[in-house]
Structure 1
């Protein structure tokens, strides 16, 4: 039998730094830090390895709020340590950069065109740095080739 423990949250929903409400997506980086798309709290929490309290790194309750999220469902860190977030409620993908966050795909316009999303749910990168997004309502997986000036 495997042993287990709670890695983030208390088991009781809430908005405090040690609580989550409706966590959807997670990502663990090479330092064993845990990023959580805390969907119903409209934020992304960073739980540094071994720490019970999270730090809001994206969302209106972060220390430097540069992005407002609505039901984030996916989160991933790329090789250059840029944070990518699926912002389901705003039908977009946002990414961190040198000057805060910015929209990469969707950008508040829901739709079926190749540069639009409708209820994006998760994302991933391949070895070449291409971004793949599960575009739920459009019943497709979108592939985006990101340019260096995307950040």
Structure 2
């Protein structure tokens, strides 16, 4: 833990201290000249408190906190600057877990990893759905290689509130509540921060013949019934029929993107935005695209699983660019072996799950290629 530095100066009520700031009474006050520190005044003495490195002052909660990054996307503007238009990433990944490419259940190993999520609001902590170990692992953003911390343990594969069965994916909200796609129990579990048991917020009632037709469901807050928002099988338009949808992403403008694996395409609402030329390995094609994510500039990042690569599609592009992988299937740093998920941190670094090698790799952004 980083130390907080305290500097003592003398202050009198309604008189400025040595830095010229006026204190009306005892309490905590913002430092108007620095968002990384604040003043605490008590008994005619003020303390200049510096936040640990990387944190900023949270005036509402009167504490040091991670900076909240405001979305850059402007929903009403069609032509926006793309600061990652020409961005490149390292070709070799850094392994943060699974260095020996072996499966396991200790803090340095995973087994059949699928979903991955980076909490950009809280220090870029990385969460992984460790499917065959029936658990969710967290890797601290400031010490990624120090090993995983189990934040949701299966306690045996079953359906009790403190158990998981083959978790597929994970999401963390702004309050650090964890949402888990608990595949074996056909439910979505929510675990509040620090809780040892979960609450079922969707599903958990067994398979439903009507709602099991490759649809995308939307669950509003507090509702146990899903609304079909994509994949209505009775629709005549083929763009509305989903064949094996494996991943969804909702951007800051509440636009829905779906990776439709069996159709080798990416859907935006009811329109195909990538993969209109069928299965293949050229720049405009996919072979089992499993996951799609977007950054704040609307660039799409797609896990092209059976081509062993990550493709980047800029807005309105008709073909993608390989930014990671595409070098065959093996365990070298520039290779992927059946990857199914990715996530971006607040700096644009990309984390990729490499299921065949039982590892998570981090590909660092080459900052000099950004166009800020």
1:44-63 residue pairs with structure 2 within 5 A? 44-47=266-269, 54-61=270-277
SS in 1 for 2:238: coil
Distance of 2:273 and 2:329 partners within structure 1: 25
The offset of 1:129, in angstroms, is 1.4
1:87 corresponds to 2:304:
yes
CA contact (8 A) 2:312 2:323 kept: yes
Change (3 A) 1:108 1:21: farther
Which stretches in structure 1 are left out of the alignment for 5+ residues? 48-53
The offset of 1:108, in angstroms, is 4.9
CA contact (8 A) 1:15 1:41 kept: no
The offset of 1:74, in angstroms, is 0.5
* Aligned counterpart for 2:258 among listed residues 27, 32, 36: 36
1:19 corresponds to 2:19:
no
SS in 2 for 1:17: helix
Q: Aligned residues, how many?
A: 142
Distance of 1:34 and 1:97 partners within structure 2: 17
* Aligned counterpart for 1:117 among listed residues 333, 336, 339: 336
Give the root-mean-square deviation of aligned CA atoms: 2.6
Deviation per CA, 1:14-64: give whole Å up to 9, x if none.
Answer: 9801110000111100111111000000000001xxxxxx111111349xx
Show the counterpart of 1:105. Answer: 324
The offset of 1:4, in angstroms, is 2.3
The offset of 1:147, in angstroms, is 2.6
CA contact (8 A) 1:91 1:117 kept: yes
Structure of larger gyration radius: 2
Distance of 1:144 and 1:134 partners within structure 2: 11
SS in 1 for 2:353: strand
SS in 1 for 2:227: coil
CA contact (8 A) 2:327 2:334 kept: no
Distance of 1:27 and 1:135 partners within structure 2: 20
Q: Which runs of 4+ in 1 moved over 4 A?
A: none
Show the counterpart of 1:130. Answer: 349
Change (3 A) 1:112 1:15: farther
CA contact (8 A) 1:59 1:66 kept: no
1:5 corresponds to 2:5:
no
Change (3 A) 1:108 1:26: farther
* Aligned counterpart for 1:74 among listed residues 291, 296, 316: 291
Deviation per CA, 1:68-120: give whole Å up to 9, x if none.
Answer: 00111110001121100000010110001376411111115222111110001
Distance of 1:146 and 1:67 partners within structure 2: 24
Distance of 1:79 and 1:119 partners within structure 2: 27
Distance of 2:284 and 2:237 partners within structure 1: 18
Distance of 1:15 and 1:88 partners within structure 2: 26
